Structure 1
Amino acid sequence: MGWKPSHPDSPVNVVLVADHASINGGQAKVAIDSALGLAGRGLRVTLFAAVGPADPRLEAAGVRVVCLNQDDVTTARNKLAFAVQAIWNRPAARALAQELARHDPRETVVHVHAFAKSLSPAIGVALRASGLPVLYTMHEFFLVCPNGGFYDYRAAQICHRRPMSGACLSTNCDAQSYPRKLARVVRHVGLEHVARLPELFRHVVTISDLQERVVAPLMPAGTTFHRVDNPISVERAPIQAGPPGDFLFVGRVSKEKGAPVFAEAARRAGVRPVFVGDGEQRAELAARYPEAMMLGWRDPAGVLALMRAARALVFPSVWYEGQPLTVYEALACGTPVVVSDACAGREAVEDGETGFWFRSGDPDALAAHLRRLSDDALAERMGRAAHARYWARPLSLDAHLDRLGTVYEAVLREAAPHRGPARPAPRGPAVAVA
């Protein structure tokens, strides 16, 4: 056990703000895992979220949950009403203001994990009015990019236009339609000029070096960046015995994740590609590449079992990513990784030692590495190196909480001269539904 609140710069209360109160992806998983971990270290933790249901482990761990039971894009029946909510969610802003009014600014940190799927930029008004110290984890890029990914879905390539410039506004980069792009532009106007989120979040947690390099020129001068790796949920185990298996892809079967690049590279290399996941490209790839094995989604234990048996994980993503957990999970399992050189996943892979980098979007470059790793001895050597390197410094929940604690103390320390009067401490843990 590492960091615990033990001196005047340590927070007593932590309010985590997220779109979802249960795990539906990486963002929510990190928020909920950290809520459970922080509560276990003695802090009073509140999770404020728009979309339910709440993960039952939170209440059991003593975490106060404020869940609004609102919609996200996957559950909304009235798409027009949801578009209004996504642009400016007034009920969420009011509920958050009421919750934050309960907390003492001298001993509270508000940590925002997500707002783009339901809460909207409207929360910025409540955050600023509260006077509480705040920070933001940049799991994606919505704070600076209207479509959240610096990715042009129509051109199927990374977008280098300046966000909200004339070139940005005139480009249909959205995965669905230009009207949706325009709705996101409207939301971004509110984010920048009404909520003023970039200047509100003077402290920003990034999860990869690439991410900071991309966003730093777009953030206000004086922004402080903190690197905090996400925790990886893999138990240490010996490397699986026996000859290496197939080349494995895990994730959304889509263009931006590089699924077509992997399928074509595998054909050129004469190996069988195995896909774990689903997405809009699955049916097309299955028809075009009948040799591919399409397994669909598996539960976490099933995914880890497939990783341990794989010859290598192939991570061919053609966009930036944040910190792709799949890459780290594979390394922790003792599986080499072949990764696109355009994405943040390359930071985890020592090229030529624990896997290979390849030129993004190039099936021939990827195929060359697949042929090399068809050598059992090389695959086994790289797997052993991947396992040893990862477990020399694992991305455990404890390591995540230790680093998070030092960041919280820095945020509170900076806010100390501006803290307002004391407020009553919140009552004991409870589940609240607004």
Structure 2
Amino acid sequence: MHNAYQQKGGEDSVVANEIALLRKHGHEVELYFRHNDEIVNQSKLSLLTQTVWSKKTHTEFLSLLKKINPDIIHVHNTFPLISASLYWAAQTLNVPLVQTLHNFRLLCPQATFLRNGRVCEDCVGHIPWRGVIRRCYRGSFAQTAVLSGMLTIHRSMGTYKNKIDRYIALNEFCKNKYIQGGIPAQKIMIKPNFVDDVGVGLEQRSGFLYVGRLSPEKGARIFADAFNAKQHGHLAVIGAGEESIYLTDIEQLDLRGPQLPQNVRAAMRTSLALVLPSICYENMPMTLVEAYSSGLPVIASRLGPLCDLVEDGYTGLLFNAGDAADLADKMAWAYSNPEAMAQMGRNARAKYLAEYTEDKNYEILMNIYNEAIAACLK
């Protein structure tokens, strides 16, 4: 089950990867998708109501469960159209359910713990009334109130504690944050994202690479301020978004826009390092896993999960989050030490082979499914 986004992102890719993985191993996979394109034709009242409880989802999903009698349900994004009504439908028929935690939506109305360009955890473990006052979701009092109301209602109803058999956190940091927010520790298991192994090329590596949305939380302004052609050589930027206005007229900065996956992988095989300058907690960036698969080290913000995902000096470099000067220094060092970066790339590739392959992910996923099934039978 997945509520797909209007602009395809990492979560959508994870869903597609897991479906393909399960089918590859002979499992029957039935899909229940809703897409945010539906929002265009809906009234605000209808959308707000569905966010808290979708009658459409509840009715359709009960019917689907009775028809196919699945062994397990795996849920990804439920916001805003699917809603928590699906959890109640699943429990009505006693079907085991697993929920992947791609972001922090169950703890933070804005889902990223970001406010005014800084990390904010004021709502963790509390009723999120502060988020409403501060209009954290899209600067809207009304929309934030609906999201906060949804969280408060379903927490009080025990939806998140009692209706879900197992949660999937993408790393230890995220697991601990959800435990702090009230999710039972025994229900949370860790499974990282994965990507196909397309191998490592023999091409000569040079220049830096950024891949992703050009939005404020991704830190585009930071690498724009940090980059200097004389110190860093070349920077290729793949992606689009409102922050692109800060990337024009910069010498040796190549703004390529969105690219096909094969073009992204080609760029990764020839770059010196991937730059990940996010100013919010990044749970498990697909670009990082793709980079490691390609033998590409990562220069990332010293913030949240990235501190564990990137081993400083071993699979990449860490810089102080939001600090353009520190990022510039790290890029300058990388530019001047290509052999050291090449070794970090080999280390990154080894980490991918050990932790982020299809086979490893399938093994972990089956273990999680089996635990969820056992828990549901108790």
Q: Which residue of 1 aligns with 2:215?
A: 254
Q: Which residue of 2 aligns with 1:84?
A: 49
2:109 corresponds to 1:146: yes
Q: Which residue of 1 aligns with 2:283?
A: 322
Q: Would you say the 8 A contact 1:268–1:367 is kept in 2?
A: no
Root-mean-square deviation over aligned CA pairs:
2.6
1:143-222 matches, within 5 Å, as 143-152=106-115, 155-163=116-124, 164-194=127-157, 196-221=159-184
1:230 deviation in Å? 1.5
Q: Which residue of 2 aligns with 1:44?
A: 28
Q: Which residue of 1 aligns with 2:98?
A: 135
The one of 227, 233, 246 equivalent to 2:196 is 233
State the distance in 1 between where 2:57 and 2:129 align: 32
Q: Would you say the 8 A contact 1:269–1:368 is kept in 2?
A: no
1:328-407 matches, within 5 Å, as 328-375=289-336, 376-391=338-353, 393-407=354-368
Moved more, 297-306 or 89-98: 89-98
3-state SS of 2:335 partner: coil
Please list the CA deviations of residues 359-393 of structure 1 after superposition, one character each: whole Å capped at 9, or x if unmatched: 111111111111101123333332233233433x1
CA spacing shift, 1:268–1:181, aligned 2, 3 Å: farther
CA spacing shift, 1:190–1:165, aligned 2, 3 Å: closer
Q: Would you say the 8 A contact 1:247–1:314 is kept in 2?
A: yes
State the distance in 1 between where 2:146 and 2:376 align: 35
Please list the CA deviations of residues 59-110 of structure 1 after superposition, one character each: whole Å capped at 9, or x if unmatched: xxxxxxxxxxx7455x446455433333332111111111223455xx7111
Q: Which residue of 2 aligns with 1:274?
A: 236
3-state SS of 1:99 partner: helix
Contiguous gaps of at least 5 residues in structure 2? none
Q: Which residue of 1 aligns with 2:3?
A: 19
Please list the CA deviations of residues 274-300 of structure 1 after superposition, one character each: whole Å capped at 9, or x if unmatched: 21101111123326x465321101010
Contiguous gaps of at least 5 residues in structure 1? 1-16, 52-69, 418-434
State the distance in 1 between where 2:8 and 2:211 align: 16
State the distance in 2 between where 1:255 and 1:346 align: 20
Q: Would you say the 8 A contact 2:229–2:252 is kept in 1?
A: no
State the distance in 1 between where 2:334 and 2:185 align: 46
3-state SS of 1:108 partner: coil
Q: Would you say the 8 A contact 2:237–2:257 is kept in 1?
A: yes
Aligned residues: 374
Greater per-residue helix proportion: 2
State the distance in 2 between where 1:340 and 1:269 align: 23
Q: Return the TM-score normalized by structure 2.
A: 0.90
Amino acid at match of 1:382: M
CA spacing shift, 1:236–1:352, aligned 2, 3 Å: same
2:262 corresponds to 1:305: no
Percent identity over the alignment?
A: 24
Q: Would you say the 8 A contact 2:109–2:136 is kept in 1?
A: no
Q: Which residue of 1 aligns with 2:65?
A: 100
State the distance in 1 between where 2:11 and 2:152 align: 24
Please list the CA deviations of residues 179-214 of structure 1 after superposition, one character each: whole Å capped at 9, or x if unmatched: 322232233234323572343224111111211121
State the distance in 1 between where 2:359 and 2:41 align: 37
State the distance in 1 between where 2:360 and 2:160 align: 28
Amino acid at match of 1:143: L
Q: Which residue of 1 aligns with 2:88?
A: 125
Q: Which residue of 2 aligns with 1:283?
A: 245
